[in-house]
Amino acid sequence: MKSKANAQPILQPVVELRGEGALFAYAVRAPRSKGVIPPSSYRNSGFATLAECLHDVGRALGGDFKRIYVRLDGHCVGERDIVELYAAPEKVAAELKAECDALNALRCVAG
């Protein structure tokens, strides 16, 4: 039996979602390590909606990971279970967009 001291850390990738004009794209990378942001290991683009983009993320990463860190248009908008991305992409897209809008509003007030 493995002890917690010997347990391997679980890799939880970061998914960077962004709007590109009328389309959406994403890139996958490892988390920041010692202040260094690693390069993206995978990219995909050309999605008509954020929900379609999230569904593709879920499909692409679902066999390898349980959770991801999510960034949307430069904002950290939390963590998500992969299963949510392909089971309810419209709901997740609405929640992420609301979080991003709230962060943008805070930036405007602070700035």
What are 38-68's pLDDT values in tens digits? 899 999 999 999 999 999 999 999 888 999 9
Domain 10-110 fold: Nucleotidyltransferase; domain 5 (3.30.420)
* Domain definitions of the chain by residue range: 10-110
Cα-based distances in Å from 79 to 17, 43, 46, 84: 13, 19, 23, 11
The pLDDT mean for the chain works out to 87
pTM here?
Answer: 0.84
Residue located via tokens 């949510």: 84
Cβ atoms within 10 A of the Cβ of 61, count? Answer: 19
Comparing 6-10, 62-66, 72-76, the range with the smallest average pLDDT is 6-10
Q: Beta strand pairing status for 14-20 and 67-72? A: parallel
Relative orientation angle of helices 50-61 and 89-110, to the nearest 10 degrees: 120
Residue percentage of the chain with pLDDT more than 70: 86
